[in-house]
Structure formats: C-alpha cells, structure tokens
Amino acid sequence: MDLIALSDIYGDIDALKDFVKTLDTREKDRRVFVLAGDIGFTLNQQEYLQIFSLLAHSSNYVLYVPGDADIKNLNINLPNVINLDRNSFSLEIDGIRLGFLGLGGAPKHSVREDEPLPNTYDESNPIVKDGILTSLKINLEKIMLTNPHYLILVTHSPPYGIADRSTPITLREIVILEEILLDADYKEEKGKRAAASPRRLGSKAIKEFVEYYKPEIHIFGHVHKQGGKCMREGDTCFYNISHFSLMPYKLTGRKFLTIKISNERKFEASFDSFVTKELYFRDFLEKYL
Amino acid sequence: MSEKRCGPTDRVEVRDYQIQVVNEILDSFRNGKRNVFVSLQQGSGKTIIALLALCNLVNEGYVNSVLILIPRRILVDQWVTKAQEMFYGLGLLRNPTLSKMRIEQIRGWLKHTQALGIVMTDQSYQRYIRKDYFSESDFDLVIVDEAADLVVARDFIEGFRMSEYLSGLEKWQTRKIFLLPYHVSEKKIRAMVSKFGKESVLIRRIIEDLPTFHYTVNDPIVIGDPIINTFVDALDEYYKRIKVNVNRILTKYSVEGYRENLETLLNPKVLEKLKKIYGVDDETLEQIKTLITKYILIQHLKKWFLYSNREELSRSILASQFEVNEWLRTEDKKLDKLAEVVRDYLSRDYKIYIFSQYVSTAELIENYLKEKLNLRDRDITLITGLVEDQWSRLDVFKRAGRILVTTPVLDKGADIPLRKGVAIIFTPPSSIEKLFQLIGRIRGGEITFLAYKGSEEETMNNVAEEIRRSLAEASGEKYGLDRFI
C-alpha cells in the first residue's frame, strides 16, 4: 500500500494534473492520498472540486485536513474523500489496518496578524486548546476500537518544536532582499514585522497530544521552509511535507512524500519532487528555476 | 573605601591612555555633546573606558540609571560578570525577559535593589521600546557596546540606515557612549555620527603600546571534486546570462547605475523610480523582478554546493535531478578533507576554531567530525544562534574543549583566545570586515581556508592574500592585526 502525502497545493491544478499522470494507474486501489491542508487558494468551490475529483479518481481514498487558507467545511461530496479535521477514519488494504485522525487549520500565532485567513485557532486560549485536545482524544479512542496496525495523525500545523522553525534564509543576498521587502511592508503596517523573526510556529496542543499518545506517523505541512524534514522521536516519525505548489518557493516546491507500507510493522518513507529527473543540470536549472 | 558609589577594583590596571579617553568623553558631555563614539583597537579596553566614564558620572551625581546595550545574548552574562569583577558598585539587571518577568516586576527590581541599570541585547531593547515599557526618561546614560552594526548598509543608492534593532535611539536626548572597534570603515562611522546629529563627537585613534597578536595565514587547502565544478560552472554561466539580460533592459531604457548591485532593483522604491523617471512599463518591471530573484537564487545555490549545505540541498527540487542526487549519495569531499586537517591539528595539540556562515553547515560539521574522528562530546562544541546555552558551551570549550564549530553568532565581543590554535574558515563570512572580526576572536594563531579546485580556489587565494597583505602592512606599522580589528 502506498500513502502519497501532499501539502500546500494552493490550487495548483496544472501541476497536480501533471503529477497524477506520472502515477501507475494499476496501483490505484492500493493508493491513498493524504492532504495536509492549504489545498486551494481562491476559496472557489469549483477549484476544490476539481482537485479532489482528480485525486479521487486516481486512488482508493483521499483523506484530508483543511489548512489555514482553506475554509473549515469544504463540503466535498465524493464517496472516497474523507475530511479528517477533528475526525477519524480507518481503512484496510492488503490486510493492513490504518487508523487516521486529524486536525485542520493553524494556530493564530503562526500566521501574520493582518492576513484574513479563514481557518485559524487561538490556542493561547485554554478553552480552545482543551477543545482541540479533547477532540483528538475522543477520535483516538474511536479509532483504537478498530485495532489499527498504524496510527497516523494528519494535521496542517506542525507540533511545536518539530520542523516548525520559520528561519530567514541565511545568505546575505537573501537577507538583503527580505529586509528590503519587509521594510516596505513594515512601513505600511507594523504588525507584519512581527512574523518576520525566526521562531517556532508549531502548535502546542498538537505537541502535547503526540507527546502522550504517540502515533507511529505524524504528517503535517504549513511551515514551508522546513518542508522535506523527517524526524523521529521515540516511536513517532514526523514528516513536514510542505510544499507541493510552485509557490511560494520554486526551489522547494513540487514536493511529495511516499510512504510504502509493506506489512504490519514495516514502512518506508521517502521524499521526492515532481520533476523530470533525467534532465542535465543546466537544462534542469533552465526549466525549474 | 571612599564614599564613591562605584569605581574600579584592584583587579583593574587603568592605563594612562584610558584615563585620557575617559576625560575626553567627560569633557564632551560637559561641552554639551550627547553622543560620544569611541573607536579604538581590540584589546585597548574600550569597555573599561566606558565603565570608568560611567562611574565618574554616577559618583558626580549625573547618572542614576544606565542602559547598556550588547549585540548578542551570549555576551550579556560575560559582559556583566567581567564588569562586576573589575568594578564595585555595578548592580546591573541582566537581560530581563518579558516572557518570564512582567514589566512591573522589572521596574520594581530596579527601584528596590538600587540597581544602577540594565544590560540587554539590542533585540530586547527594540521589544521594550515598541511596547513603550521604557523611554529615554528612564535612563541618564546609554552605553552601546560593539556598536559597529548601529547602522547597516541598505544598498548602494541609499547608503546606511539605522539598524532595525536600535532605530529610535538617535532621537533620544539621553547621553550616549558608543564603543566600536577601530577597523570599522570611516565611511560607516561617518554615517553613524551623522544619524545622531551635531551633538556628536568621535574619538578614534590607534593606541601604540598594545600587545600584538601573531597570525600565520596558510595557503588554502585545495580539494578536487569535478562534479562540484560542473554544478558551479553551470550556475555561474546562468548567473552571467541573467546579468547580461538585466543590463540589456537597463541599457534599453537608458537607466544609469544599479549595475554594481542588481539586488537593489528589487527595492519597491527603485522599481517605482524606474517606472516614473525612465518610463519602464509594468511588464518589463515584472521581468526585472523575476530575473533578479533568479539571480539571487543562483548565488544562493552556488554557496550551498560549495559550502556543503547538503541539508538544504537535499530538501530542494535539485535533489531529484539525477546528477545532484548521485552527488548527494557520495561522501562530501570538503568535509572529508576537513576531518583530515582537523585530525592533523589535534595530533599537534592545537585548539581548533571552525567557522561556517550557515547554521546547517555548522551542525553538519559537528556531526561529521564527531563520527569520523570518534570524538567525545566534550571535545567538540557547537555554538550557533539556535542553541540555548551558548555561554555555558563557550565556557566548556575554553576550559576543556578541543574543537569549536560556530557561526557569526560569535563574531562580536566574545573572546576566544586559543594560545596554540588555528581558525579554519570552512565558509567565509560575507565580507572582509567580518573575516577580520572573526579572526580577531582567537587572538593570534594560524588561519586556514578550504577551497574546491577551480574558481573557489582562486577566490580563497585572493582572500588569503588580502589578509596577508593587511598583516604585513600592519606589522610594518608595529600594530599587529589590531591595526585592522
């Protein structure tokens, strides 16, 4: 069974179409797509439908959580498309049972104050944080009734402290570039500057949950600059899978994660980019930068 | 003991030139100046001078509360500890953190402990001021140590601007003392002084009887890796092509300037100017922006390849390209050579300071050397802006460590005398000025560069030559490297 995880697609339907074409149609029934949020860009329902239909036709299931840029209820009525936001779902392929649970949106502190994003939560409010934890725990309990071989948590936000640092790129040229742009922003609105310093953007509620309930796999996106990182802590493997879209950085876009699950105890995960790998270096630069 | 509130302890040997500079500072204040810039060589005791001036002003009743600004968190503890060892009566609150203490507590602490003031980082200063927690009326004197970055170069067109962290300070009427090393360029110092207006004075000189430090600049160690050259050549070619294209556009619209520093063309103000004055249309402006972004990215990538930033490379789309993918699977030849060089120095009982411009490369170096040379944790110390206990780690290295791997986080203020030591520059800093700054940290010893055969070799040869030339010039003047640091 193959789990193909994508995040931060931002409505890039053309890239997605090209990507899907590269997949082996014979493997469709053994394939599950996992989308870790920020699926659309314009909040246009038609755009979402297009994306989900495309993926639903190329796989057994499409499991998703909405990101901070998506609305909470995407209202996708396709039979094999499941919203994991504060929800759980179990499936069995080739005798391997997978239990999924999820949380969409992103903590307020991880986005710019002035950006009107539709799906954020303020976890500094204890009631909100408790609500998140309670929902995750209830869904965990439900999913454990199916006795899964793997417990997989899908969130849009990283847990606090893991692949969640928003670092400025260290090269002087980029610093100059960012300084110039940020300075221009700053003069317009001071609030924007606050999001420019390096800091941890992950969710403390999610961190608390994974620390105690230890899913085998945790898939998330959101913090673009940490995309492609995989880390292991205890029994949990963490994957920041952002970002699939060519925006905001061409250099780190087109990314996806494949998790091949061969039996009840063994899986292999690898990151890849959706590009023509055989191009010579010069041609590659020409085409993709 | 005198009735003075504060002053130097027996540990301080105050030198004549220090007393002379202190008197000049005090005279400047008496004559109505508010901002005194002191630019002396490293090792001349600028901090002692500032503290002597502070004590004088305190004892005469002119100062009751001082704000001391330090560029990096790692230096705050070191600074206060040293200051309190050398001077009595210096009750200073160290970098109070707003996330741990409420402002009322901080103010209460200051009031009830009769503290003389606060020592904090430039970044903390910015946070306090933005929240209006402190203002100029809270302090009678401000001391800015390591003030070289008080102004930062914005671009060639607009010249220097106040650092984001310290902006606003130029408007304070409070008396201020700025300490900066001698090597800072005249142009930059002039820019600083001009930001602070006519009530400013500069005390800048070379003290002749200071101890000199001796450096040996080795020839760069050259590493052969033809694949790296393939990547770098392709990137260079691409880079040149973009430059030509941008220049063509500028020529077409008869735009003068900007060619020396194309990054400037991303500045919204410059783009606006191109539109209004030169009539560049929106489509062409977009084209320029795209080209410059690529131009910056290419430079960026070149450095990733040259400086073993495999972590970033492996997370980029390039990792999927078949040649890069293959290269990423092989052992990094530069790291391998570094291990060989480090092993050799260790066998000769050297203390080793390895510098990398990038955190991820520094982390990679630490892990690689630990594994390759089978080092104990105590043997190798990593200090970057991302580690929490920078000061404790530095202390471990000074007392018991053998190898220090670090980034620009230690380029200012921290003393790392190595006695018998070598600085290995794995990734050169962004300017010669910064290179001098970091070499100055080790107070003498060997300097070694690593470079891939080809264009990097040429660059590093030039850098080594430039340092040698400066050193030779300096020794001719009998000032050692201090002439430049």
pLDDT, tens digit, 9 for 90 and up, residues B79-113: 888 888 889 988 888 877 666 667 777 777 777 77
**Which of A78-87, A90-99, A174-183, B270-279 is least confident?**
A174-183
Question: Are residues A61 and A126 both part of a single domain?
Answer: yes
Residue A10 · residue A245 · CB < 8 Å: yes
Of chain A, the percentage scoring pLDDT greater than 70 comes to 89
Q: Which residue has the higher pLDDT, B107 or A172?
A: B107
Give the C-alpha distances (Å, rounded to integers) separating A126 from A42, A101, A123, A129, B244.
Answer: 32, 22, 7, 5, 57
Question: Are residues A192 and A119 both part of a single domain?
Answer: no
pLDDT of B101 reads 67
* CB-based contact B321 A277, cutoff 8 Å: yes
Q: Which residue has the higher pLDDT, B210 or B311?
A: B311
Q: Which of B306, B320, B355 to mutate to test the interface with A (most CBs of A within 10 A)?
A: B320
Helix, strand, coil % over all residues of chain A, rounded to 5? 35, 25, 40
Instruction: Provide mean pLDDT across the span B274-285.
Output: 89
Question: Are residues A182 and A277 both part of a single domain?
Answer: no
Residue B158 has pLDDT above 70, yes or no: no
pLDDT of A191 reads 37
A–B CB contacts, 8 A cutoff, strictly below: 92
B449: tokens are: 């560069």
What is the total count of domains within chain A?
Answer: 2
Backbone angles phi, psi at A99, to 5 degrees: -110, 120
pLDDT of B159 reads 64
Which of A146, A173, A198 finishes a domain?
A: A198
pLDDT of A271 reads 95
* CB-based contact A174 B300, cutoff 8 Å: yes
Question: Are residues A47 and A156 both part of a single domain?
Answer: yes
Please give the residue of chain A at the shortest CA–CA distance from B408.
A170
* CB-based contact B317 A252, cutoff 8 Å: yes
- Domain residues for the domain of A269 are 2-164+201-288
Question: Are residues A147 and A223 both part of a single domain?
Answer: yes
Question: Are residues A194 and A87 both part of a single domain?
Answer: no
Q: Any residues with CB less than 8 A from the CB of A244 and at least 6 apart, and which?
A: A6, A7, A8, A9, A12, A15, A16, A19, A253, A254, A255, A256, A274
Residue B127 has pLDDT above 50, yes or no: yes
Question: Are residues A102 and A242 both part of a single domain?
Answer: yes
Give the distance from residue B443's alpha carbon to the nearest chain A alpha carbon, in angstroms: 26
Which of A146, A178, A198 finishes a domain?
A: A198
pTM of the model: 0.74
pLDDT of B154 reads 55
Instruction: Provide mean pLDDT across the span B357-364.
Output: 87
Quote the CA–CA distance of A89 and B258 in Å, as a whole number.
58
Beta strands in A126-276 (DSSP E): 150-155, 165-166, 199-200, 217-220, 229-233, 236-240, 255-261, 267-273
Question: Are residues A136 and A226 both part of a single domain?
Answer: yes
**Which of A181-190, B129-138, B387-396 is least confident?**
A181-190
Chain A contact for B237 (CB, 8 A cutoff):
yes
- Burial letters B322-361, b for 16+ CB under 10 A, else e: ebbeebeeeebbbbebbbebbeebbeeebbbbbbbbbbbb
Judge residue B292's burial from the number of C-beta atoms within 10 Å of its C-beta, 0-12 exposed, 13-18 middle, 19 or more buried: buried
* CB-based contact A174 B296, cutoff 8 Å: yes
* CB-based contact B299 A173, cutoff 8 Å: yes
Residue A179 has pLDDT above 60, yes or no: no
Instruction: Provide mean pLDDT across the span B398-413.
Output: 84
Q: Write out the H or E segment, with its range, that includes residue A197.
A: none
* CB-based contact B235 A285, cutoff 8 Å: yes
Chain A contact for B290 (CB, 8 A cutoff):
no
Question: Are residues A205 and A84 both part of a single domain?
Answer: yes
Q: Which residue has the higher pLDDT, B252 or B94?
A: B252
Residue A196 has pLDDT above 60, yes or no: no
Question: Are residues A12 and A48 both part of a single domain?
Answer: yes
- Contacts of B89-93 with CB under 8 Å at 24 or more apart are B89/B4, B89/B5, B89/B6, B89/B7, B89/B55, B89/B58, B89/B116, B90/B6, B90/B51, B90/B116, B91/B115, B91/B116, B92/B68, B92/B116, B92/B117, B92/B118, B92/B119, B93/B117, B93/B118, B93/B119
B-chain residues within 8 Å CB-CB of A228?
Answer: 314-316
**Which of A46-50, A108-112, B348-352, B381-385 is least confident?**
A108-112
Q: Which residue has the higher pLDDT, A280 or A42?
A: A280
Encoded amino acid at B485, one letter: I
Give the distance from residue B252's alpha carbon to the nearest chain A alpha carbon, in angstroms: 24
pLDDT of A184 reads 36
Beta strands in A104-221 (DSSP E): 106-107, 120-121, 150-155, 165-166, 199-200, 217-220
| Nearest-by-Cβ selection for A289 from B231, B297, B320 | B297
* CB-based contact A281 B230, cutoff 8 Å: yes
Instruction: State pLDDT tens for residues B2-51.
Output: 578 899 988 888 889 999 999 999 999 999 999 999 998 777 888 899 99
Residue A178 has pLDDT above 60, yes or no: no
Please give the residue of chain A at the shortest CA–CA distance from B311.
A229
Instruction: Provide mean pLDDT across the span B233-244.
Output: 92
Residue B152 has pLDDT above 90, yes or no: no
Residue B119 · residue B75 · CB < 8 Å: no
Quote the CA–CA distance of A171 and A18 in Å, as a whole number.
33
Question: Are residues A254 and A225 both part of a single domain?
Answer: yes
pLDDT of A173 reads 35
Sign of torsion, CA B277 B282 B288 B294? positive
pLDDT of B454 reads 84
Please give the residue of chain B at the shortest CA–CA distance from A190.
B130
Instruction: Provide mean pLDDT across the span A187-211.
Output: 66
* CB-based contact A279 B358, cutoff 8 Å: no
Question: Are residues A55 and A190 both part of a single domain?
Answer: no
Beta bridge partners of B178: B37, B144
Q: Write out the H or E segment, with its range, that includes residue B204.
A: strand B200-204
Instruction: State pLDDT tens for residues A118-148.
Output: 899 999 999 999 999 999 999 999 999 999 9
* CB-based contact A273 B317, cutoff 8 Å: yes
Residue B402 has pLDDT above 90, yes or no: yes
Q: Any residues with CB less than 8 A from the CB of A51 and at least 6 apart, and which?
A: A9, A11, A13, A16, A39, A40
A-chain residues within 8 Å CB-CB of B154?
Answer: 179-180
Instruction: Provide mean pLDDT across the span B208-222.
Output: 83
- pLDDT band, very low/low/confident/very high, at B474 (cuts 50, 70, 90): low
Judge residue B282's burial from the number of C-beta atoms within 10 Å of its C-beta, 0-12 exposed, 13-18 middle, 19 or more buried: exposed
Instruction: Provide mean pLDDT across the span B159-167.
Output: 77
CATH number at residue A20: 3.60.21.10
